[in-house]
Structure 1
């Protein structure tokens, strides 16, 4: 009695499968199936059985998600065997990693550049708000229409604005920022 395995589009063997008996015809073996003399042992995770010149062989199986080593972009890999040069089965651990010497490594310069961009964008947004608060108070002071309370608020907003503008001088910049407290 033979053992039947289905051959998928990549050439991997799945099974054994039990074929239904068709009355008057018996077992019908599909086109995408092969008969083997004996059942194959389990090959374990990361491997699959395939046929090489009609003989079952155990091959590595990286089918599924793989990652471009230049960009980290995810793509589908559907072939048996080793992943080609330029791809890896290991996902990048984060957005600022580069593939060097066969492993993903943190690119500290890229991480810092992105953090600087993020921090300065946040700072600039806060400076816009501060300037919106400062402008009418400055007008009142220029026209000598300000009250003592308005003058105190103006000075608080101006100090806040200066402190915001100096965050780049902080020791932990850009990863550890002590943000000034808004006068509001």
Structure 2
């Protein structure tokens, strides 16, 4: 009988997790905080020695895509848990998006479903558009746009009226200038009578000499 051996000594663990025979053993490590599986390695155990911290002798079954592999909280087995890391999720309260950085089930205030508008609100398990809020916002935007257009037109009218008014005040105006002054003042009056709150129904008055004034009379 040979005094040599080419076999690798394999450690044997007792029921208490302590080696009852010295040798090599494959262990599977988990992260000390998240318990996520990290790697496998060969460890040599002396007699009456336990496994390294956060290491386990049972080989885990690899999870399918979309799930993470981690040690159960009681440390007795491996488990597969939901894994959305790297995906974009949305707050069900604010619609704000963020990237998932931890595995595990999403909390109730986050969803993978993307809201379609800034007026979407969460209704159970889906987004629904708050049409009243959307219409109100569109109305405010239309009013702001109409107000800007009105201000621009009034600026043009005031710019045209001022020199014509000067000519009339100094008794230097020609008949054409007097007629232009009246026309521009009438135009300004019509502008000031417009109801901006009804932005969608505004019928902009035609300015005198619209092409030269640089005004788009259609709004």
Does TM-score exceed 0.5, indicating one fold? yes
**Contact persistence 1:4–1:35 (CA under 8 A):** yes
Aligned length: 166
- Structure 2 unpaired stretches of 5+: 1-24, 44-50, 215-219
Alignment of 1:1-184 (within 5 A): 1-7=25-31, 9-14=33-38, 16-17=39-40, 34-45=55-66, 47-52=67-72, 53=74, 54-63=76-85, 65-75=88-98, 79-139=102-162, 140=164, 143=168, 145=173, 146=177, 165=196, 167-169=199-201, 183=210, 184=214
> By how many angstroms is 1:130 displaced?
0.7
**Contact persistence 1:67–1:87 (CA under 8 A):** yes
Which is bigger in relative contact order (C-alpha 8 A, separation at least 6)?
Answer: 1
> By how many angstroms is 1:73 displaced?
2.5
* TM-score, normalisation: structure 1: 0.64
Distance, in Å, in 1 between the alignment partners of 2:204 and 2:85 is: 48
Q: 1:17 to 1:149 in 2, by over 3 A?
A: farther
Q: 1:4 to 1:75 in 2, by over 3 A?
A: same
**Contact persistence 2:161–2:181 (CA under 8 A):** no
SS in 1 for 2:79: strand
Please identify, of 147-156 and 117-126, the stretch whose mean Cα deviation from structure 2 is larger. Answer: 147-156
Q: CA RMSD in A?
A: 4.0
> By how many angstroms is 1:39 displaced?
4.9
